[in-house]
Structure 1
Amino acid sequence: MRVIDSHLHLWDPELLDYSWLEGPYDARFAEAELERARLGAAAEEKAVFVQAGTAEDRFLDEVRWVESLAERVGVIGIVAGVRLDRGVDTTTHLDELAAQSLVVGVRHNLQDEADGLAVSTAFVTGAREVAARGWTFDACVRAAQLPDVARLAGAIPELRMVLDHLGKPEVGTADAPRTPSVEWVRDLDELSRHPEVFCKLSGLPAEAAGNWNREQLEPFLDVAADTFGVERLMWGSDWPVSAIGPAESGDPHASDDGAAAYQATARSRWLEVVVAWADARGHDVDAILWANAERFYGLGDGGRPEATESRRRGILGWLRGE
């Protein structure tokens, strides 16, 4: 089985600035940590890195840092952080990103933005520049924002867009599961009518606060398959965001007060659940795990220029101010 993880995060608070990290998230998650979270069921494993919420003035630094790690961690594409509503500043930033060989798309994280930003004149203008460069756009929104994403897709039909985390529906927990809401199903269906929009099977464990199981989440996967079709679905781990929750059985580092902890097996468990679901439904597993992400992001055979060790050390030294 081969896997392209279409939604992988990496971060290092000692190298870059992240205002949102707290609790178990406030730690380094980079090459050593990812090595311990490898997908044992995968004969071949690659990944697309998705921007991890570093400070806006460090977006380009984040790309350079990940490029320095890419060969070691198996990253073959980067979805870079960007603000698409900044006019000339947006154009300048996109021009700077064009010099980075692994950039295949961008993400302006919309989930905490005001409703309507995605269809504002400034944002649409910036998104058109993304489409003109042949890049993709990752739409990370909450369920109530899905209509705005559909309107954006209608305004720029040539923009290849992927919905992160199925639009973050309310899934409940394993102990108190929720069923797909009528509103979410309706809005997902409307978005899926735009043929250049794909959907990532990712992020649901985080929406369940790390307390999830297969039976709880399969109905949401079924809706995604029914609306988008298997040919527009791609698997993503959302690691390590979706690897935080109740401590796993036998965790020697579990807190006595039951506080959230890093779940060492969460990435592999999510893969196993999606594979089991797809196989049971007769879906094309290789398409979901590899081919669709490869096609959407234009990854080809996964080839990329090799970063030399000296270049890697130079970038890390520059980020540290050495």
Structure 2
Amino acid sequence: MTIDSHQHFWHYEPIKHSWLDESMSVIRKDFLPEDLQQVYQKNQIDGCVAVQADQTLEETDFLLDLAKKNSFIKGVVGWADLRADNIDSILKKYSSDKNLKGWRHVVQDETDPNFLLRPNFLRGISLLEKYNHTYDILVFPHQLGSVLEFVKRFPNQKFVIDHIAKPFIKEGFYEGWAVLMKEIGKHENVYCKLSGMITEADYNTWTAEQLHPYMSLTLEAFGAERTMFGSDWPVCLVAGNYGQVKGLVTKFISTLSSQDQDMIMGKNAKEFYSL
């Protein structure tokens, strides 16, 4: 089974989706399950994990409603304010929905590089394990130092780093990102998504060869057993098409054993998110 571990849906609203700047004008429109289902049929994808793009509980409810109506959406990563005083009751409420698999906060947009280590946020994270909820880590490379401290505090919590932590591929920056990713990869409760890479390179001129060092390091740090394919559809459309994104990963891992390829292309996502 081939699982896309990372994609989004939205009804486009200019204010709510202001992060879609002029360079992303091609995706300033609605993207819904009927759109993605056609893409999946063309690209032999069996199911997906829908990940939050807006930081509201309404977004979580929207994705869960879509999952209820579309069987190919195998799980949802929602948003809740993990810093809230009543976070335990919120988590308890959502734990009754079998499609809710985990949570994410857009940490990359937080100005405090140590946002993940704030006491109220740590308290929220500490409650996830009892509900068997995962946590998606969305950060930029300069925040990886706090990610390392963060994952050390919760050795039994399932974490996954989104978009290989968004290295500055366009600028060719590599070393600092690589050192920290290797350290984080030593923690066996942390996985990583091979996703969001072409949009960290130059939208128009990226090449597979340019991305290979970043994919190689990710595979070295996390191993085939903790790496998973994700498309980041529809965001990926600003720099390519779905076939290119999938092909980038499948060609890169083609020299691995069939067992390793199966893990990266679906099995790991299935196990991580309990799909």
**Do they fold alike, i.e. is TM over 0.5?**
yes
1:63, CA displacement in angstroms?
Answer: 3.1
| Residue aligning to 1:208 | 201
Deviations along 1:217-247, one digit per CA (max 9) or x if unpaired, are 11110000111111100000000111113xx
Q: Does 1:33 align with 2:27?
A: no
Aligned equivalent of 2:48: 47
Kept in 1, the 8 Å contact 2:162–2:193? The answer is yes
* Aligned equivalent of 2:5: 6
Task: Verify: 1:227 aligned to 2:226, yes or no.
Answer: no
2:149, 2:99 → 1: CA distance?
A: 29
Q: Retained in 1: the 8 A contact 2:126–2:154? A: yes
Q: Deviations over 1:240-282 (max 9, x none)?
A: 111113xxxxxxxxxxxxxxxxx5xx11111111111101355
Change (3 A) 1:28 1:217: same
What are the equivalent positions in structure 2 for 1:123-162 lying under 5 Å apart?
Answer: 123-162=121-160
TM superposition score normalised by structure 2: 0.90
Corresponding residue number in structure 2 for 1:268 = 243
Change (3 A) 1:292 1:281: same
Take 1:170 and 1:20, find their aligned partners in 2: how far apart are those partners?
A: 18
State the one-letter code of the partner of 1:291: K
Equivalent pairs counted in the alignment come to 268
Is this contact kept in 1: 2:236–2:245, CA < 8 A?
no
SS of residue paired to 1:275: helix
Q: Deviations over 1:274-297 (max 9, x none)?
A: 111101355721110011111111
Q: Is the 8 A contact 1:198 1:228 kept in 2?
A: yes
Q: Which one has the largest radius of gyration? A: 1
* Counterpart residue type for residue 10 of structure 1: F
The gaps in structure 2 that reach 5 residues or longer are none
2:271 maps to what in 1? 295
- Give TM-score scaled by structure 1 length: 0.78
Asked whether the equivalents of residues 80 and 105 of structure 1 are also in contact (C-alpha less than 8 Å), the reply is yes
Identity level (%): 29
| Unmatched tracts of structure 1, length 5 or more | 246-262, 300-322
Partners of 1:24 and 1:244 within 8 A in 2: yes
Instruction: Show the counterpart of 1:75.
Output: 73
Q: How does 1:250-265 map to 2 (within 5 A)?
A: 263=240
CA change 1:157–1:134 in 2 (3 A) is same
Give the C-alpha shift of residue 17 in structure 1.
4.9
1:102 to 99, 115, 122: 99
For 1:132-156, what per-residue CA distance to the aligned partner results, in whole angstroms no more than 9, with x for missing partners? 2111000000011111111111111
Q: Pick one of 151, 174, 187 that aligns with 1:194.
A: 187
